[in-house]
Structure 1
Amino acid sequence: MANHSPSHYPRIGIAGEDLVVNWLESQGWVILHRRWRYRRGEVDIIAQFGEKGQDTGNKKKIPPSSPLLAFVEVKTRSQLNWDEGGRSAITQQKQVKLWRTALMFLAQYPEKANYSCRFDVAIVGYQETSQESYVVKTTREEQNSSLGNQYTLILYEYIPAAFDCPSS
């Protein structure tokens, strides 16, 4: 495994978010915010799916009563990482922090307070590509991206409603 500079990891993380944003938009979502912050938290992506009955990507239809907001946490990890592709990084403490940040977002945008909301998790993998060959197979489930032809990113899994509102 290469020893990367400190600036490497934020760049890879942003590239992973870019990949998820592109995928969400291709599924009909509208991106409202990226890296939305308040003093105690951040949400990687806040997306809205607004039309009645549109497909949400999880084979369920949105109830006709209101649009859907997704607060999306993106975990971008290299192969053979220590935390199950980022899954184990979504601890109870992290869930509470995301939930509180979502509440602050809804307080700042009260017109969205009655929307249905959920917390999604996107698992993105990356690997360094060799300079000799750069071939990526794309399936419907795997969306691919490149970071300066040095890395290949793949959306391995998108987990809608990955967790419920945690108890604080």
Structure 2
Amino acid sequence: MHCPNSGQLGEDLVAQWLQSTGWIILHRRFSSRWGEIDIIAQHDGESGEAEEQKENFSRAKQQLSANRTQHSLLAFVEVKTRSSGSWDAGGRSAITPEKQAKIWRTAGIFLAQYPEKADYSCRFDVALVYCQRISKNLTNFTATQEALATSSAAGHKFKLQEYILAAFDSLIDDG
């Protein structure tokens, strides 16, 4: 089974989910000669800070400008979209040390192009998306792990099954 444009649709789902959780999408498919990063997202502060900003906008705006670098986080996100029976553990095994090195180098190029973000904390995340054809005659139901987010497009259902924070460290530790 092939999902048409599955990679792009999986990335769309992850980008929408990130935005719904307070992230700002800076780039999609940022590429350099070293490779490509599917999503680069930024998060500024915590939800408690957002409430404070609503109560006293002008004071918070000044404070945010002064503390933006200190509280901002960049996430370089690799999205793997797979259908059932994939050979690579739902995309997890495709994040090889070589792939990680390409993403690290590409992130360095991004930070060189945007030096105002060079002092931000950075993290390398992996999103695992499952793609399944939607059957008109669905008679069987299989219980699976609850998805973080879902969407449907082109006769397929996409599920964000797992979002691995700081994944490169955990994938290296597991390997």
Tell whether the 8 Å contact from 1:66 to 1:114 is kept in structure 2 after alignment: no
Name the aligned partner's letter for residue 147 of structure 1: A
| TM-score normalised per structure 2 | 0.77
Tell whether the 8 Å contact from 1:123 to 1:155 is kept in structure 2 after alignment: yes
Query: Are residues 1:129 and 2:123 paired?
Result: no
Query: Are residues 1:112 and 2:114 paired?
Result: no
Name the aligned partner's letter for residue 17 of structure 1: E
Tell whether the 8 Å contact from 1:120 to 1:158 is kept in structure 2 after alignment: yes
Task: Select the structure that is richer in helix.
Answer: 2
1:93 to 91, 98, 107: 98
SS of alignment partner, residue 159 of structure 2? strand
Distance in 2 of aligned mates of 1:66 and 1:37: 26
**More RCO (CA 8 Å, sep 6+):** 2
2:21 to 5, 8, 27: 27
1:151 to 147, 150, 156: 156
Distance in 2 of aligned mates of 1:142 and 1:24: 11
Query: Identity, % of aligned pairs?
Result: 55
CA drift at 1:131: 2.2
Distance in 2 of aligned mates of 1:30 and 1:41: 22
Could you say which structure has the larger radius of gyration?
Answer: 2
Closer/same/farther in 2, CA of residues 14 and 71 from structure 1, 3 Å limit:
same
The match for 1:15 is 9
CA deviations on 1:66-110 (whole Å, 9 max, x unpaired) are: 300000000000011100000000010011000000000000000
The match for 2:46 is 53
The alignment's C-alpha RMSD in Å is 2.5
Name the aligned partner's letter for residue 145 of structure 1: S
Tell whether the 8 Å contact from 2:6 to 2:81 is kept in structure 1 after alignment: yes
Q: Which runs of 4+ in 1 moved over 4 A?
A: none
Distance in 1 of aligned mates of 2:90 and 2:146: 20
Unpaired segments ≥5 residues, structure 2: 49-67
Unpaired segments ≥5 residues, structure 1: 56-62
